[in-house]
Structure 1
Amino acid sequence: MIKKTIFLILAFSPFFVMATTTTPTEGALSGAQGAATVAGNFLSDFWDFFDNDVPNFFERALSYVFEKIVLFKINAQIESMKLAWSISKNIIESFQVGSKIASAASGLPQDVKAALVDLRLFDGLNIIVQAFIARYVMRFF
């Protein structure tokens, strides 16, 4: 167990990352100047991480969360409209609007009734009443 822990500490320690691959013939600096260059590069990378990478991460995470919230809200609205329409359809069927309009129209004189049927006034009135019922139910959702 101790060997595994030591191996993991050495494997994930930053010592291997800080090693340089350049040789003195390739332009690597030695001595105090090389150490200052390595320290400066480390500090600039450290600053770049907190100045650019962390804000970019939070921006991407926040946009992901807002995207999921908006999609959830849209799907919830669609499903609530389906539910409201099914409820209003049941209410319309229980009110029997069409039969009540037909029974009210039976009391009219025959020529007036024929003219209103030709104008499709009863069908339009039925659609308007159904729309009002559906709108009333959909306001609850």
Structure 2
Amino acid sequence: MNSQCFVTSIHKEWDIVAARQMGRELAKKIGFGTVDQARITTAISELARNIYLYASKGQIKFEVIESLEQKGIKVVAEDSGPGIEDLSQVMEDGFSTSGGLGAGLPGVRRLMDEFDIISEIGKGTIINTIKWVR
């Protein structure tokens, strides 16, 4: 298995744009079509915005995953913020603490092929997502 890893820090609002651009370029480079590039970029935007809004700082890691059978992009959002008190609540469609649309994490889960979230109160949150090239 061959892999490349890239990291972008999220400290200010502009970092969300940088993360989106990095993710889109990487997705395009490894062979995703324009629709999947848009899905990946939207998911990255949501993850980065959550770090910015709720944890104030963190990072988005991108990894190209490649094996003989498949190729994809792994996007990991990591922060050392307050953690998520009620995971089942934030995974409900329509739930929003920021007054947004509430598409948030359920939206990310729908946009990507694999989704996993680990959150510890007072320690932070790690969200792992993967999108496979069709």
Determine which structure has more spread, i.e. the larger CA radius of gyration.
1
The interval holding the TM-score normalised by the smaller chain is under 0.3
Query: Counting helix residues as a fraction of each chain, which structure ranks higher?
Result: 1
| TM-score for both structures, normalised by structure 1 | 0.26
TM-score, normalisation: structure 2 = 0.27
Larger proportion of strand: 2
